[in-house]
Chain A
Amino acid sequence: ETGVTQTPRHLVMGMTNKKSLKCEQHLGHNAMYWYKQSAKKPLELMFVYSLEERVENNSVPSRFSPECPNSSHLFLHLHTLQPEDSALYLCASSQDLTDRADTQYFGPGTRLTVL
């Protein structure tokens, strides 16, 4: 048990659908992250939140919309996705952004397939 949960674990959606991914951390951390892991490519950081404020947005298309209502929950809202958006989406959390000795704890991921 990593302390970070993600739902759903698997999701298949059409290009016109709207869906949301949910992440919850039970570790009392202040920072949360969304990553995308595509086949044969390194993990790509998508969004970073610290104390519910977005601090990084790495040129992610607007069809991905994050939401952080509190420090324990993070959502990724999806709409009008493309087949190339199919990937494993990983959520992570860490105590803070500033601690150099701080590691990130990852959830199990949501396997997304866009038809």
Chain B
Amino acid sequence: KQEVTQIPAALSVPEGENLVLNCSFTDSAIYNLQWFRQDPGKGLTSLLLIQSSQREQTSGRLNASLDKSSGRSTLYIAASQPGDSATYLCAASGSARQLTFGSGTQLTVLP
């Protein structure tokens, strides 16, 4: 059974800092790895999707990498802004076509 872990559970940084969020998964037989953002009391917004054959994806200030062999993914946020404050979730999609989610990293960017 796939298990997804995110470290740290919470992170607080000053505005302008570059930061990395970590995600690990136990079963490397994944279709893709996705990163989502969730604002308090709201649904999830898809940020980046990395297919199993890819190593990374970029969107604006966000860059996500995938290393299937080690069961790891990272989300890099450049020049963080207070508007980036949210919970970031990673999810692995496996052969059962289900997404297995981590518990998330709660990010606070201080002005």
Proximity string of chain A (34-45) to chain B, C-beta cutoff 8 Å, 1 when within and 0 when not: 000000111101
What are the residues of chain B within 8 A of A98 when measuring CB–CB? Answer: 97
Task: Decide if B43 touches A42 in the complex (CB within 8 Å).
Answer: no
Instruction: Tell me whether A106 and B45 are in contact (CB under 8 A).
Output: yes
A interface secondary structure, majority: loop
Which residues of the partner chain B approach A13 to less than 8 Å between Cβ atoms?
none
From A4, A88, A111, residue with most partner B Cβ within 10 Å: A88
Q: Is the interface of B mostly helix, strand, loop or mixed?
A: strand
- Looking at the assembled complex, report how far the CB atom of B22 sits from the nearest CB atom of chain A, in whole angstroms: 15
Chain B residue with Cβ nearest A58: B98
A101 touches B51 (CB 8 A): yes
* With known contacts A42-B102, A43-B101, A45-B98, A101–B43 Cβ distance under 8 A: no
Q: How far is the CA of A100 from the CA of B50 in the complex (A)?
A: 10
B61 at the interface (CB under 8 A from A): no
Please name the residue on chain A nearest to B31 by beta carbon.
Answer: A100
Q: Which of B91, B99, B103 has the most CB of A within 10 A?
A: B99
- The complex places the Cα of A41 from the Cα of B82 at a distance, in Å, of 25
Q: Smallest distance from the beta carbon of B89 to chain A beta carbons, Å?
A: 7
- B88 CB to nearest chain A CB (Å): 13
